[in-house]
Structure 1
Amino acid sequence: MAETLKSPSTLSTSDANWWRQASVYQIYPRSFADSNGDGLGDLPGVTSRVPYLKALGIDAVWLSPFYPSALADGGYDVDDYRNVDPRLGTLDDFDEMAAALHAAGIRLIVDIVPNHSSNRHAWFQEALAAAKSSPARERYIFRDGLGPNGELPPSDWTAAFGGPGWTRVSDGQWYLHTFTPEQPDFNWDNPEVREDFLITLRFWADRGVDGFRVDVANLLVKDLSADLPSKAELAAMDRTSGTHPLMDRDEVHEIYAEWRKVFNEYTPPRFAVAEAWVETPERRAKYASSEGLGQAFSFDLLVADFDAGQFRQIITDNLEQVRLTGSTSTWVFSNHDVTRHATRYGLPPLNGRNVKQGVEWVKAGGPADKIDVDRGIRSAKAATMLMLALPGAAYLYQGEELGLHEVAAIPAEQRQDPSFFRGAEYDGLGRDGCRVPLPWEPDGTSFGFGTGGSHLPQPGWFAQYAVSVEEKDPASTLSFYRRALALRHEIQGPETLEWGDISDENVLHFVRPGNWHVVANFGTAPVALPKGEVLLASADVKNGTLPGEATAWIRS
């Protein structure tokens, strides 16, 4: 199938491996830029900010869901997989955005949500109107209930955001939803479901999409043929053998092998990255197979403390998986689902449970006396700079380049995350705090996000983090990210590193091809740097000495 970009592009159509060491910037579109003043970010807003993205120096944009949705779960409840939410624009707007990104040399990755649809999806509405055991119901997972009259759910399973995992419909049957009741799970044993997603992949690839981020890629295939186990029995089951009834089953890779055939119809082949929270690196590597999706997120650094020992072990383990599988590592610290890492690093370490520490702080209302804000951003910059020097793909989340912290103080009546309303211990008070619209200007109704306010409240301290303020300041976090991303493109050669010889348990030192030395000081005491030209440092280097909680790149 031919390449179908909508406008002239600076992108190479011969580079099939562009994604292996790409810098990818995640955009949560409803909170990026609002073009029409309705308080909700949109696709024309993204298009208007392409010059900003180009100046940042990224290689690709990952666009979180923009499909028609009731927003029961931030757009991950999809009404129509081959359309645009009218509040965010039109298909023409999508084409204009894709063309503008491509013309700027930026690839486009879109989110695909295959485990479940919205309850407003045409198929689910058809299923509700259909009889038991009808073809329409077989696209989803419907079961009769327990008890004399089927009044009890088929099992005692709970949903990820709290509450029961089954919801009853008017004729007495129950349907499964791993997440909210508005997100019924597809039945991936159904050929219609499999074929329809192949149509969806081609639909977006034909519009110039370069890749796909696959939501909860490990959950699609389920084995519900036997008596359903209890929640306690599920918790005790092995999750490393590929035989768990609900997650990470080996059969899921048959689906992704079909997807790979579709990806390979294009020049260059499309790629995908799996969001697969699985138990071992070996299980994760299956999703990154060249016969499957090609890449899988590693969240190992995301959950680690700012600690040299933890970082070194994680990097070593991940690069070993690269060596064994031929795929590539991915590195990420923040996204739309977790407390921002600038905040997490400003909190005391919690023995490798960094994300949990952020959860507890948010639940407490974000007390200022419990966090060291300056240390948080200092450590976040050091960690990010280390990450950008690693072989593999780096995934960044909108706003981290500004040094944004988590917004904890959001009134209950203005929150949107279903995990907050359903009482789940998902991430503090829910994930709204990392989804607050970006500040572009230091003043105005929404700090330049749009003319009509913002769908989540922005704190007053956003003014000092506004893009227009940081662009003028060479010492700002934004200026730092721009320099780091520009230099990252100069690190060429094999996807390898060699550990250096600095013998300090609080320091990591490795060397990339071209004699790029990377020194990350996780401690507080200064450390002497190797001899060479300091290309960039996250804190001031004086007399060849790197201060604590800082990283430097040196070329010898």
Structure 2
Amino acid sequence: MTSPEWWRHAVTYQVYVRSFADSDGDGVGDLPGITGRLPHLRDLGVDALWITPFYTSPQKDHGYDVADYTDVDPLFGSLADADALTTRAHELGLKVIVDLVPNHTSSEHAWFAAALAAGPGSPERARYLFRDGRGPDGAEPPNNWQSVFGGPAWTRVDDGQWYLHLFDSTQPDLDWRHPEVGDLFEGVLRFWLDRGVDGFRIDVAHGLVKEESLRDQVVGEGESLGSGAPTGESMVERTLRDEPMWDQPEVHDVYRRWRRVLDSYDGDRMLVAEAWTQTAESMARFVRPDEMHQAFNFSWLLAPWSAKAFADVVTGTLEAVAPVGASPTWVLSNHDVVRHPTRYGGGPVGLARARAATLTMLALPGSAYLYQGEELGLEQVDVAPEHRQDPSWFRTGEVGRDGCRVPMPWGGTRPPYDFGPSGEPWIPQPADWAPLTVAAQSGDPDSTLEFYRAALAARRTFATTAGEDVEVIGSDADVLVLRRGPVTVVLNCGTESVPLPAGEVIIASGPLAGGLPPDTAVWLG
């Protein structure tokens, strides 16, 4: 019998490179820092790590503005450091997934510099989406599209033309209808595959191809311009919007080409899409047999604290991926959203709910993605305005994503909590994190870290053998009961304790007293 591909049931740990571990004392995490902390991931029990962009970049969006896709920014180390990280991870039994940013380049990429120098109508400009403006003197943007980071999605250059940027103005969008763009990225894929990486996380995977006319977005009554990022709505409940900038049919041709490239390499190399699609069905299109291997399932992340909502997400996701033979993914936090203990109310209640949601998620078929620090129970940090660095903060004046990107606490009793050998981290850490460090929680059976270690160890015993079917035995606003193979999962989202079904307790997210308490989950065998 052939064993399933490693990624189908893997637990992958997201490393936000700036905030994981600093080896040289400059206050910013780096590749040698990650390498030195890989034993933590092995001991945690994950199967792979996904590393956010570490390529050459002016860091206007912390690496998601790439100036050179085949080199390492000196802030994070060198190509030799990247090779050493991959080698050490493989020695520890960990797969390595790197982040690829194909929707846009940095405005400091050689291609964009050439486009600005060459002028309107040039072959160099054809690699990007330059257009003339509207109005008698071209002083109005070519269409009404808005940047995900706020404000118009167009910036005018000195010769009067405008270029599209669905994110920051330093991140010009590429024109994926231009053949040179596809050729460039096939070369990038091969460069990193040849260096031994096991997969790629594809940033803004739904955004590469725009509707060719670049027409205005049609906005319904009560709607606002823009989309393509988390809204706080459950995917089950979303009203479909007109989005000519996202999820166009031609984008799938890109991933069919990429799949052929990966299939030419040994070792089950994989692609996972960050695709903020509007429905579970459109998400499933990214994971058809000849395209991506996985796509992030953001409907689990967006669901409110409700047994009924979680049940709807489970059934909807499994129904969507089944026709294409894909494995689902589950995720609760990442570097772009408020950490889930805070989303669930914060404090002891938020942490209890976070642990319960995590335990429920880990019982489901498919793969799970964890975000660094969630194994410590870290909450969203209220970063002072003078320390905020998210470009969306500077564009909109609204609190951005810095609060989920505060550097990891490893040990010690005060900042920087062994994050680096010296110096203040690039975002200051709270003064009250001493009880939350890896060192403080290790060996404490009641700690969130030890809970994660136990949950991941328990998951390993049945993840690849329990099958892909999940039976929703019951769900209302308060209690969700699921069965997958030999494991029954009960999640209490209510306010009163409920009786436990028959069975041996495998693991619980919190103490069991008088049945299953509120905000608690349990696995029964």
Instruction: Give me the TM-score of the superposition, normalised by structure 2.
Output: 0.93
User: 1:238/1:447 Cα in 2 relative to 1: closer, same or farther (>3 Å)?
Assistant: closer
Of the three residues 420, 423, 431, the one matched with 1:460 is 431
Match of 2:347 in 1: 373
Matched, 1:539 2:513: no
Match of 1:481 in 2: 452
Local SS of the residue matching 1:81: strand
CA distance in 2, matches of 1:225, 1:552: 52
How many residues are aligned here?
509
Match of 2:358 in 1: 384
Local SS of the residue matching 1:300: helix
- Asked if 2 retains the 8 angstrom alpha-carbon contact of 1:30 and 1:40, the reply is yes
Matched, 1:27 2:26: no
1:154-553 matched pairs, under 5 angstroms: 154-225=142-213, 228-229=215-216, 232=219, 245-346=244-345, 372-408=346-382, 410-423=383-396, 429-450=399-420, 451-491=422-462, 492-500=465-473, 505-513=477-485, 515-542=486-513, 545-553=515-523
Q: Which amino acid aligns with 1:541?
A: L
- Asked if 1 retains the 8 angstrom alpha-carbon contact of 2:505 and 2:523, the reply is yes
CA distance in 1, matches of 2:240, 2:415: 53
CA distance in 2, matches of 1:149, 1:236: 24
User: 1:525/1:244 Cα in 2 relative to 1: closer, same or farther (>3 Å)?
Assistant: closer
- Asked if 2 retains the 8 angstrom alpha-carbon contact of 1:213 and 1:273, the reply is yes
Note the alpha carbon deviations across 1:487-509, whole angstroms, 9 max, x for none: 10111231122233x67652112
Match of 1:358 in 2: none
CA distance in 1, matches of 2:154, 2:471: 51
Local SS of the residue matching 1:24: strand
**CA displacement at 1:31 relative to structure 2:** 0.2
Match of 1:356 in 2: none
Instruction: Give me the TM-score of the superposition, normalised by structure 1.
Output: 0.88
Matched, 1:63 2:62: no
Which of 110-119 and 140-149 deviates more? 140-149
Note the alpha carbon deviations across 1:296-348, whole angstroms, 9 max, x for none: 111111111111010011101111123222101111110000000000111xx
CA distance in 1, matches of 2:275, 2:174: 17
- Asked if 1 retains the 8 angstrom alpha-carbon contact of 2:311 and 2:475, the reply is no
Local SS of the residue matching 1:62: strand
Note the alpha carbon deviations across 1:251-276, whole angstroms, 9 max, x for none: 11011100010010111232111111
**CA displacement at 1:244 relative to structure 2:** 5.0
Local SS of the residue matching 2:55: coil
Q: Percent identity?
A: 50
CA distance in 2, matches of 1:486, 1:269: 23
Q: Which amino acid aligns with 1:218?
A: H
Local SS of the residue matching 2:254: helix
User: 1:460/1:498 Cα in 2 relative to 1: closer, same or farther (>3 Å)?
Assistant: same
- Asked if 2 retains the 8 angstrom alpha-carbon contact of 1:442 and 1:464, the reply is no
**CA displacement at 1:279 relative to structure 2:** 1.4
**CA displacement at 1:245 relative to structure 2:** 2.9
User: 1:58/1:328 Cα in 2 relative to 1: closer, same or farther (>3 Å)?
Assistant: same
Local SS of the residue matching 1:520: strand
Q: Which amino acid aligns with 2:266?
A: T
User: 1:64/1:236 Cα in 2 relative to 1: closer, same or farther (>3 Å)?
Assistant: closer
Q: Specify every segment of 5 or more residues in structure 2 that has no aligned partner in the other structure, as ranges.
A: 229-238
Q: CA RMSD in A?
A: 2.2
Local SS of the residue matching 2:482: strand
- Asked if 2 retains the 8 angstrom alpha-carbon contact of 1:16 and 1:269, the reply is no
Note the alpha carbon deviations across 1:359-409, whole angstroms, 9 max, x for none: xxxxxxxxxxxxx5000000000000000001111111000000001001x
Local SS of the residue matching 1:455: coil
**CA displacement at 1:15 relative to structure 2:** 5.5
CA distance in 2, matches of 1:32, 1:301: 25
Which of 112-121 and 148-157 deviates more? 148-157
Q: Specify every segment of 5 or more residues in structure 1 that has no aligned partner in the other structure, as ranges.
A: 1-13, 347-371
**CA displacement at 1:236 relative to structure 2:** 9.1
- Asked if 2 retains the 8 angstrom alpha-carbon contact of 1:157 and 1:231, the reply is no
1:103-118 matched pairs, under 5 angstroms: 103-118=91-106
